[in-house]
Structure 1
Amino acid sequence: MTNEQDGARDQLERSLMEIAIESWRFSRLFSRVVSKLDAGEANRYANQLRYFQKKVEESLDSSGLKLVNVEGQPYDAGMAASALNLGDFGPDDVLLVDQMVEPIIMGPNGLRKQGTVMLRKVEA
């Protein structure tokens, strides 16, 4: 492959990752809106959302990419995500990932894009 082809391939992958991240954000927002609807309507829209998410996942998979969500997991400094509010906690605090702001994107050769998270302290 030439440098030009490599550059075009990298640009396509970056574009796909950007679309995937925005789709992930939209899905989360859409989920919150659907949760406010009555049960009959909510079911129909929830099914459409699942279908949309499945199609996005299939497209990413065909390119060797995967979105990773670590919400609810214990925070580890070695995690492939930067914490926006890490400075709000002490060094001995036990932390959980409270919210994903941006998902982690993994590729066939490892990390493609670091995620962003908000943390919360585990209450003893």
Structure 2
Amino acid sequence: MTDDEVNKLESLVIDMAIESWRFSRLFVRVAGKLDAGETAKYVNQLRYFQKKVEDGLNQIGLKVVNLEGQSFDAGMAVSAINIEDFEASDILIVEQMIEPVIMGADGLRRSGAVMLRKV
């Protein structure tokens, strides 16, 4: 494979990982509306799916990074979509990941997007 083909393939895998992450979050919200017995069954299936995705990504040196709940730092590999709502002196945390950060063995592969809130 040429370097260009490898880069295209990696980009496709990253796109699939991000969409899988988004779908998993949606799945959890929907499962939360079911009765407790059914929720547990479906959440276990989701965990299995997530583990398979994580294992596959690890095999090619990729990792999905979720920063929710962490203190926000301007140097994070994310775009804060609501940063204009805050003052420079505000202490902020990542309230919600809109898109996860994707890291590779050699560093950042794709930056994420977040919503912030004051501490």
Instruction: State TM-score, norm by structure 2.
Output: 0.98
Trace 1:1-124 onto structure 2 (pairs within 5 A): 5-122=2-119
Over aligned residue pairs, what C-alpha RMSD do you find? 0.7
Q: Deviations over 1:55-114 (max 9, x none)?
A: 110110011000000000000000111100001000110000000000000000000000
Instruction: State TM-score, norm by structure 1.
Output: 0.94
Structure with higher Rg: it is 1
Structure 2: state its 5+ residue gaps: none
Q: CA deviation at 1:25?
A: 0.1
CA distance in 2, matches of 1:22, 1:32: 16
Q: CA deviation at 1:36?
A: 1.1
CA distance in 1, matches of 2:60, 2:82: 33
Count of aligned pairs: 119
Structure 1: state its 5+ residue gaps: none
